[in-house]
Amino acid sequence: MPLTDTEHRALLDWIDLSARLRKNVHAAKQTELLEQLRGLAAEHKANAERIAALEATRTAESERATALETDVAARGATIERMESRLASGEGLTSRDLVALQGDIETAKTARETVEEDQLTSLGTVEEQDAEIRDLRQEGAAIAARGKDLQAERKARAEELAAEAAELEAERAGTAEKLPADIRQRLSAKETAGQIGAAVLAHGTCGACGDELSGVARDALSGSEPGTVVECDSCETLLVTPLG
């Protein structure tokens, strides 16, 4: 199946344009960028879950601190009543006064213990508030990065789509320079998702990488430049380079 010099050049151009189109299709998948977006989505989800867990813990701790505050106030009121009774001494014997004094000291010690517990609880709440605030900032940064990547993905998709349209148009124009039977063969292979044609280099198919059979090599030996043969393995049309 010999081609004229013009057809030979056209087929080589078609092969080059097809390779560039396949590269374009692969690039359009934006696999690496999508992986980054999936990673950010996972980070954002984990961040949100951590915030939710901390908020639940913080709420419980805050309620505990409030309960301790109420307890401290109640204990303080009790101590004040005891001290007022001690100060008046009304109806109290010496033994009662000594016992009451001891009760007051015991009550104050217990109140101090609760106050320390309350301060610890309040400190925990403050730490949790700070951690939640940091996590929210981190979440905002992750979201912003995701937004930037989405914009980058959209811009890249538009760029590749425009490039694909140009390549398709150029390839279609190049195909018009080929014989009708070859155009039909190329179209059928492309429709089937296969490589239509490839360059034959050093007796090897540029599509599947297999070597031509001896029969095919013999057919090419001494043939006219631009002779097209078929790969024995993948049935791709093969043509030698110019020169």
CATH code of 141's domain: 1.10.287
Say yes or no: 67 and 15 in one domain: no
Q: Is residue 44 a part of any domain in this protein? A: yes
Say yes or no: 120 and 92 in one domain: yes
Say yes or no: 145 and 67 in one domain: yes
d(CA 92, CA 97): 6
3-class state of residue 205 by DSSP: strand
Question: Is 167:16 a contact under the CB 8 Å cutoff?
Answer: no
> Which of 8, 14, 228 is closest to 236 using CA atoms?
228
Per-residue pLDDT of the chain (243 residues), as tens digits, is 688 999 999 999 999 999 999 999 999 999 999 999 999 999 999 999 999 999 999 999 999 999 999 999 999 999 999 999 999 988 889 999 999 999 999 999 999 999 999 999 999 999 999 999 999 999 999 999 999 999 999 999 999 999 999 999 999 999 999 999 999 999 999 999 999 999 988 888 999 999 888 777 776 666 677 788 888 889 999 998 886
Say yes or no: 155 and 37 in one domain: yes
Q: Is residue 77 a part of any domain in this protein? A: yes
- The helix or strand, by DSSP H or E, that contains position 229, with its residue range, turns out to be strand 228-230
d(CA 109, CA 70): 17
Q: Is residue 211 a part of any domain in this protein? A: yes
Say yes or no: 21 and 33 in one domain: no
Number of domains in the chain: 2
Say yes or no: 119 and 185 in one domain: no
Of 121, 140, 164, which residue constitutes the final position of a domain? 164
Residue 130 — φ and ψ, nearest 5°? Answer: -65, -40
Q: Is residue 47 a part of any domain in this protein? A: yes
Segments forming the whole domain that contains residue 72: 28-164
Of 105, 130, 164, which residue constitutes the final position of a domain? 164
d(CA 139, CA 157): 27
Q: Is residue 188 a part of any domain in this protein? A: yes
Say yes or no: 138 and 109 in one domain: yes
Of 164, 193, 211, which residue constitutes the final position of a domain? 164
Question: Is 72:118 a contact under the CB 8 Å cutoff?
Answer: yes
pTM of the predicted protein model: 0.76
Which tokens belong to 234? 């993948």
Say yes or no: 157 and 37 in one domain: yes
